Copies of this chain bind each other. A is one copy, B any other.
Amino acid sequence: MQDLYPSRVGAEPALAPRRDPVLHGPSRGSLGEEQRRKLEHDGYLCLPELLAPAESDVLLAELDALRRAPEMRGRPEVVLEPDSEAIRSVFDVHRLSRTVERMVQSDPLLSIVQELLGSDVYIHQSRVNFKPGFEGKEFYWHSDFETWHVEDGMPRMRALSVSLNLTANTPVNGPLMVIPGSHQHYVSCPGRTPSDHYQQSLRRQEYGVPTREQLALLVERGGIAAPTGPAGSAVLFDCNLMHGSAGNITPWPRSNVFVVFNSVDNTLAEPFAGIAPRPSYIASRDFRRVVRA
């Protein structure tokens, strides 16, 4: 398969144009025209009350219990903070949590992603990021698609992520930051990918990192937005949107659930980096479409 988006191939880092549309299907009414335009133009869209407050409280309690469960320690789905033993992320939460599973299989979310991707969808990845108070460390800038393409073999830009806030995302507790418009550029990164890179990269990324020049250029064009919101609100964003978040020294955890929907017409090939595929709890090869519950 031709590599339309080469990165980490030893070439000079570059900004290449996107070769795929952002909206892959016509409007079918699950979003307004203005919301579709916003997503196409900026690469992200806020969904103010994806879960009702009561639902998101239940979900938070459920995932907190998961985090505290002694049997979770040492499982491969569990990733620790770079400088401590605090749990940073747990993968595969749509299999571990009934509430997440239900959210993924329900409207409005399922209709929205099916409409935007113009096809049925499957779950490429899901996780909860806890970003605990006092010690939650930053996530440096990255395009998810770059990693999914290079390390997982996702051929095209035809996936959408939803980040659901489990706690209030405020300006001070390390909220999601995005570079509006950056999804229109493919950031080809320096370096080459070592094997088994993922075991390290989920704690602190060292490959697939844009250069400072690339980031400065993207920010000069689009600025930085930090869409905040209460628990239950969500941000839907394009797979190629450059995003990151600062650390969290406040006492308030900034926890979210992150689910990636990929088009069933865009399933994974061999990783373009020529490495072994990452495990299924990070990059699923179960391509069965999500069915409405």
Contact = CB atoms under 8 A, between A and B. Distances in A.
Interface in A140-196: 140-141, 171-172, 174, 177
A247 interface: yes
What number of copies of this chain does the assembly contain?
2
Contact of A215 (B140, B141, B224, B251): B251
A250 B224 CA distance: 8
Contact of A134 (B174, B215, B245, B250): B215
Interface string A208-247: 0000100110010000101000000000000000001111
B172 A212 contact: no
Contacts of A216: 133, 251
A212 B247 contact: no
A248 interface: yes
Interface in A239-268: 244-252
Contacts of A226: 171-172
Given A172-B224, A177-B249, A246-B249, 13 more contacts: A133-B212, A134-B212, A138-B247, A138-B249, A140-B249, A172-B177, A172-B246, A212-B251, A215-B251, A216-B251, A244-B249, A245-B249, A246-B246
A172 B226 CA distance: 7
A11 B216 CA distance: 49
A292 B132 CA distance: 48
A251 B138 contact: no
Contacts of A224: 172, 250
Contacts of A246: 172, 174, 246-249
Nearest to A251: B216
Nearest to A211: B134
Nearest 3 A-B pairs (CB), nearest first? A171-B171, A216-B251, A246-B246
Contacts of A134: 212, 215
Contacts of A251: 212, 215-216, 219
Contacts of A248: 246
A281 to B, nearest CB: 27
Given A172-B226, A224-B172, A141 B212 contact: no
A247 B247 contact: yes
A249 B141 contact: yes
